[in-house]
Structure 1
Amino acid sequence: MSSSVGGRLEAVARERSLFGPDYLRLGALVLVAVAVHAWLLAHTALTARDSLGFARQALCFETPSAVPHEDGRPKNVVDLIRTSEHPPGYPLAILVVYKGLSCVSDAPVSDRALLAAQLANALAAVLLVIPTYLIGRMLFGRNTGFAAALLFQVLPVPARITSDGLTEGVYLLSTTVAVALAVRAVMAPRISAFLLCGLATGVSYLVRPEGLMIAAGPGAVVLGLGLARRWPRDRAFGCLSALVIGVCLVAVPYMVLIGKLTHKPAGNELLNPFAPARPVHYSAQAAPTTGAIGPLFAEWWNDEKDSGKSKTVWGVQAVFKEVSKSANYAVWPLALFAILALRRRFAAEAGPWVLVIIAACNFLLLLYLATRVGYVSERHTVLLTLLACPFAAAGLPLLATGIGQIFPRVERFGVRVTAAGLLVALVVASLPFALKPMHPNRVGHKHAGHWLAANMKSDEALIDPFCWAAWYAGRTLYRPDGYNPPQSRATYIVLENKAGTPHSRLPVLPLAQEQATRPGARVVYHWPENVSKDNAIVHVVKIGED
């Protein structure tokens, strides 16, 4: 005898993760991010010097035959990836944007490539609002996610760095996606979730090698929960294995190709603590001062100025200084206040621990970088700032509650209104500094480069210790050392007459200054053009035939 149960099969709707209120908040965040980055792109006089290397790598990916081997035969893309100092992630993103720009712009290759670098960085920074919002939403709620994403987009250092021709936008997008997946994985543990987190971590490594540290957050959480038997150990082992496999699937092929963890000099110094540190080259105008010329964007150990100091103490001070600037001095104190106030949640929830562990790893890595290499930059601290933003946003209602208890008149407005007012105050205080034009004092190098492109002949040599003019002149588009004929009838030299900011890492500058004092050297171009040569900022000096 058989029996059957009849019934109507119904399709179960997939559980939604985002709803109308989420989309409204994300739409507002995207509008703010587009406005901030579009303003900064439109008011960029000159990109950072490091952007030249990334744009060059992208151009070489497009035309690998333009870069010959040491034996003279042309390179291919695999050769370029194997020998390039930087991982391929960001240059490939630049190449995609450059291809699109080439369809709508007939600007010179030099201008187009640097604009592509900026756009790739800024577009990634706009997309960054999505994972940042999701992290805050998963940990503390919609309003916290909105406040965290908004705050990060308007902070001066992150906003400006992610609008320059640097890796930060693409790096932060990839790492923040990995962090969001890590938070989701430890809150709702599945093998697939940890595998996706590992894959995203591997992608972030292809942008910057330190992206591998993202795996430390979920890895340490899973290990701790497994050892404490809060998770079954077989589940913990499976999740940890999935995380490692995901990372290896993306990262190991690149490691095998280059034969090491990274080609970056600083990375190799960190991996080899017993090797002598690289010498740092400063220009004669690069005295480590922050007087009338404004603040530097990095802290450098100077053998003369810092002689006798403890490098460890100096490193701690340098890291705290750069982290404070990156967070606009208010975000990290607010984040630490929230962490202390919400410390009971850490005992019950695993999600916040992911951010705390990654932040601790990043901070320790910065300390090691500062003490080992003698250098730490604002650029290195933006991930720390991003990790602090969800906690800082969660601290706003807590701070509002405290203010209401101290000032009863404020309490009548309610916690939400007061917290929103504090967020608006932080945004308003940040925007004037975030929206300042970028690098206006170095625009003379761009004008000098365009002048050289129009006037310099192929059989004439060029010495440019600052790199920008040589780029815009078309001499260093595919080779960092540029092209100089073996027998040149004349030599052009680019110098700053009155430096607006200090420069570092300019080993060619002494040679350029010495050559410019030779008999027959004369200034053939200066910028600004409407002032006298003595009052100009940038000089182009020529030696040899007219």
Structure 2
Amino acid sequence: MNAAIPGGSFAPAHLDQFSQKRYDTHRHSNPTEGTVGMTEPLATHHAPRTTHKTDWLLIGVLVALVLPLRLWLICNTEVTARDSIGYIRYALQFEQKPWAKVLQQNHQHPGYPVLVWLTSLPIRAMEDATTAANMTLSAQLVSLVASLVLLVPMYWLGRQFFDRPVSFFATLLYQYLPISAQHLSDGISEPLYLVFLVMGLLQMVHGIRNRSVWRCALGGVFAGLAYLTRPEGALILPALGLMLIVMQIRPTWRCSWWRCGGCGSAAVFSAIAVGCTYAIVIGGLTNKPAPLVAMGFAERAEMKRPVDIAGPLSLFAATIPPTDNKLLSLGRSVWALGEEINQGFHYLAGVPALLGFVWSFAGLRRQPAFWALMAYIAIHGLILISLAMRVYYISDRHVMILVIGGCFFAVVALSELPRRILAWRKPVSQAPTETTGWLRSAPLWSAVLFVALLGACLPKATQRLHGNRAGNHAAGIWLAEHLHEGDVVMDDHAWSMFHAGLVFEEGREPKLPRDLEATCYIVITRSRDPRAQPQSQVIGVEFNPDGTAKSLRTVPIAKDAKTVYTWPPKAEADKVRVLIYAQRRDNDIHPWKKNP
């Protein structure tokens, strides 16, 4: 696990493809337009074709090491993420309404919901039903495949700058970090988004290094696919464009303006070709309120519009107290961003990542491809800070790509730290013995540190997915057994409604008898915080007849409401976490069509 850049310097390295042709004649000359007189050092020598077999073998080992974790988490899922419920609703709309209307009515980008819908077709066909269980499985299978595919571009992205051990162990570490492990197994868009994003960044690195038009075009394709999954996927393009301009300013990195323009144009036009259909249909770049607010194109109030049952905000987020002091807001936003990144590293790998970056910087700074990645990180970070200043939160999902980059530096530090410490503590005259020889082995201590870090991650990484929502799951199953025609459920956490099957009946308005005495079930999830006040009302989402979210509705708990279910069963009153109240359905709050 030796770092590729010990002490901040590189071993002799191969030239990039564009420089190789003229290296012998131009190595010591001033570059002219159309030539490049510099080398772009990599962590290893130019590898013959046969060494790629070793890389692919290591990727196969990664799959074998990661697949058990993914299967474990899928088999140990209590409920899917609340955002996943919105994606599932989105996916099912593709077979209920015209696609253009579906895209216009949903804030999320369609890449992930489309794949969830396609995956669900054979699964639902086997069961001849649409249920919470098979739709959850469909969403998680998309994430499972994406998380395994992610191993390939992440490993190869690392190989552009580091040796095999660093790339291998960094890729493995990312999959086992608790937040990454949980999110990559959940029914959310991040796994698919990261696949397209890292593939796009990898092609951008190749395009910058080789001044390759077709590589830049391929990077644009993946940028377009990432954009179809999440709006920030398009950030690859400004990072690439900025770096192409900077390269023309610095003489040692300069190439012909024709090639520079060709690379930039290829990336932009290929990205437009992939993503333009969605943008044309919705009449803009995105329907999501958060990016629009962050860029100043929408008001903060837009964030309050219900996107889906889950709402627009993530439970796993750093919230920031609102303030009119811009400087204070900036400081809090930067601090929140740092907190989320540190949490993404499970707190233990954050400092090693910083050390690895410092120790690697001397060698990496000579590579324009490295600065292209730094440009992307800078743009991404600035947008997150802007988002935090305007909507007062940053989610841990937002920083997952930053943690990917940091994992390489964390592994560099774990490799380099023992070597530096042992060199500092080297005995003056004592001859090495068989015992002291292995005790002073830097690779051995690097392996010990890595195994210790991975071991510290495992308990959290393998936790039951959303296991703290077992009560909401159980409440949904109870409701499914007790609901009758005309009954309604108000649940501010959505899981009970989902597992009761009501999500699949949204928008349906059956005609009911005039004298119907229907029931309104109110699901309350109690906080474990002793300072939390008992709820006297519940906030739910009201839907239009076509199934789209219309508004938030507050339903008070009636004085004569009866407690019909508690979880845990037979628990003491102060230990109950989930309650279901039953009260008469109010026609003023929940009107229904009556039979004549």
Shorter-chain TM-score tier: 0.7 to 0.9
What SS class does the counterpart of residue 165 from structure 1 fall into? coil
Pairing 1:26–2:44 present = no
Q: Deviations over 1:468-501 (max 9, x none)?
A: 111222222364x886978762233333363347
Please give the alpha-carbon distance, in whole angstroms, between the structure 1 residues aligned to 2:173 and 2:445.
16
For 1:474, the equivalent position in structure 2 comes to 501
**Paired residues of 2:92 and 2:117 also in contact (CA < 8 A):** yes
Alignment of structure 1 residues 228-243 onto 2, 5 Å: 228-229=250-251, 230=253, 231-243=255-267
Please give the alpha-carbon distance, in whole angstroms, between the structure 2 residues aligned to 1:233 and 1:307.
46
Please give the alpha-carbon distance, in whole angstroms, between the structure 1 residues aligned to 2:357 and 2:73.
33
Q: Report how far residue 379 of structure 1 moved.
A: 1.2
Q: Report how far residue 328 of structure 1 moved.
A: 1.8
For 1:71, the equivalent position in structure 2 comes to none
Q: Which moved more, 1:145-154 or 1:109-118?
A: 109-118
Pick from 445, 454, 457 the counterpart of residue 427 of structure 1. 454
What SS class does the counterpart of residue 502 from structure 2 fall into? coil
**Paired residues of 2:438 and 2:444 also in contact (CA < 8 A):** no
Pick from 517, 540, 545 the counterpart of residue 558 of structure 2. 517
**Paired residues of 1:59 and 1:113 also in contact (CA < 8 A):** no
Please give the alpha-carbon distance, in whole angstroms, between the structure 2 residues aligned to 1:401 and 1:160.
33
Q: Report how far residue 90 of structure 1 moved.
A: 0.5
Please give the alpha-carbon distance, in whole angstroms, between the structure 2 residues aligned to 1:364 and 1:482.
44
Distance 1:402 1:483, change over 3 A: farther
**Paired residues of 2:124 and 2:130 also in contact (CA < 8 A):** no
For 1:536, the equivalent position in structure 2 comes to 576
For 2:416, the equivalent position in structure 1 comes to 398
Q: Deviations over 1:235-280 (max 9, x none)?
A: 1111111111121111222111110111111122123267344576
For 2:526, the equivalent position in structure 1 comes to 498
Q: Report how far residue 225 of structure 1 moved.
A: 1.0
Alignment of structure 1 residues 357-506 onto 2, 5 Å: 357-408=375-426, 413-477=440-504, 479=506, 489-496=517-524, 498-500=526-528
Q: Report how far residue 507 of structure 1 moved.
A: 4.1
Pairing 1:259–2:283 present = yes
Distance 1:107 1:38, change over 3 A: farther
What SS class does the counterpart of residue 393 from structure 1 fall into? helix
**Paired residues of 2:558 and 2:583 also in contact (CA < 8 A):** no
Distance 1:459 1:347, change over 3 A: closer
For 1:284, the equivalent position in structure 2 comes to none
**Paired residues of 1:183 and 1:354 also in contact (CA < 8 A):** yes
For 1:12, the equivalent position in structure 2 comes to none
Q: Which amino acid aligns with 1:129?
A: L
What SS class does the counterpart of residue 477 from structure 1 fall into? helix
Q: Which amino acid aligns with 1:30?
A: V
Pairing 1:212–2:234 present = yes
Alignment of structure 1 residues 238-317 onto 2, 5 Å: 238-272=262-296, 275-278=299-302, 297-302=316-321, 310-317=328-335
**Paired residues of 1:404 and 1:410 also in contact (CA < 8 A):** no
What SS class does the counterpart of residue 503 from structure 2 fall into? coil
Q: Report how far residue 169 of structure 1 moved.
A: 0.7
Q: Report how far residue 108 of structure 1 moved.
A: 5.2
Please give the alpha-carbon distance, in whole angstroms, between the structure 2 residues aligned to 1:411 and 1:339.
28
Pick from 151, 161, 171 the counterpart of residue 139 of structure 1. 161
Q: Report how far residue 23 of structure 1 moved.
A: 2.4
Q: Report how far residue 417 of structure 1 moved.
A: 3.2
**Paired residues of 1:198 and 1:244 also in contact (CA < 8 A):** yes
**Paired residues of 1:495 and 1:513 also in contact (CA < 8 A):** no
**Paired residues of 2:289 and 2:303 also in contact (CA < 8 A):** no
Q: How many residues align?
A: 501
Q: Report how far residue 307 of structure 1 moved.
A: 8.8
Segments of structure 1 that go 5 or more residues without pairing to the other structure are: 1-14, 65-74, 282-294
Compute the RMSD of aligned alpha carbons: 3.0
For 2:93, the equivalent position in structure 1 comes to 60
Q: Which moved more, 1:448-457 or 1:261-270?
A: 448-457
Q: Which moved more, 1:494-503 or 1:179-188?
A: 494-503
For 1:354, the equivalent position in structure 2 comes to 372
Please give the alpha-carbon distance, in whole angstroms, between the structure 1 residues aligned to 2:509 and 2:450.
52
Q: Report how far residue 356 of structure 1 moved.
A: 1.8
For 1:198, the equivalent position in structure 2 comes to 220
TM-score (norm 2): 0.77
Distance 1:104 1:461, change over 3 A: closer
Please give the alpha-carbon distance, in whole angstroms, between the structure 1 residues aligned to 2:334 and 2:437.
39
For 2:45, the equivalent position in structure 1 comes to none
Please give the alpha-carbon distance, in whole angstroms, between the structure 1 residues aligned to 2:503 and 2:246.
51
Please give the alpha-carbon distance, in whole angstroms, between the structure 2 residues aligned to 1:482 and 1:317.
46
Distance 1:20 1:514, change over 3 A: closer
**Paired residues of 1:524 and 1:541 also in contact (CA < 8 A):** yes
Identity among equivalent positions (%) equals 28
What SS class does the counterpart of residue 564 from structure 2 fall into? strand
Q: Which amino acid aligns with 2:527?
A: A
What SS class does the counterpart of residue 492 from structure 1 fall into? strand
What SS class does the counterpart of residue 565 from structure 2 fall into? strand
Q: Which amino acid aligns with 2:478?
A: W
Please give the alpha-carbon distance, in whole angstroms, between the structure 2 residues aligned to 1:462 and 1:332.
44
Q: Which moved more, 1:193-202 or 1:160-169?
A: 160-169
**Paired residues of 1:495 and 1:512 also in contact (CA < 8 A):** no
Please give the alpha-carbon distance, in whole angstroms, between the structure 2 residues aligned to 1:482 and 1:333.
54
Distance 1:410 1:224, change over 3 A: farther
**Paired residues of 1:338 and 1:392 also in contact (CA < 8 A):** yes
Distance 1:105 1:418, change over 3 A: farther
For 1:292, the equivalent position in structure 2 comes to none
Q: Report how far residue 115 of structure 1 moved.
A: 1.9
Q: Report how far residue 197 of structure 1 moved.
A: 0.3
What SS class does the counterpart of residue 286 from structure 2 fall into? coil
Q: Deviations over 1:90-143 (max 9, x none)?
A: 001212221232355567522211221122112211211111110111211211
What SS class does the counterpart of residue 108 from structure 2 fall into? coil
Distance 1:279 1:146, change over 3 A: closer
**Paired residues of 1:29 and 1:146 also in contact (CA < 8 A):** yes
For 1:289, the equivalent position in structure 2 comes to none
Please give the alpha-carbon distance, in whole angstroms, between the structure 2 residues aligned to 1:398 and 1:107.
55
For 1:291, the equivalent position in structure 2 comes to none
Q: Report how far residue 362 of structure 1 moved.
A: 1.6
Q: Report how far residue 227 of structure 1 moved.
A: 2.4
What SS class does the counterpart of residue 496 from structure 1 fall into? strand
Distance 1:462 1:498, change over 3 A: closer
Distance 1:169 1:347, change over 3 A: closer
Q: Report how far residue 401 of structure 1 moved.
A: 2.2
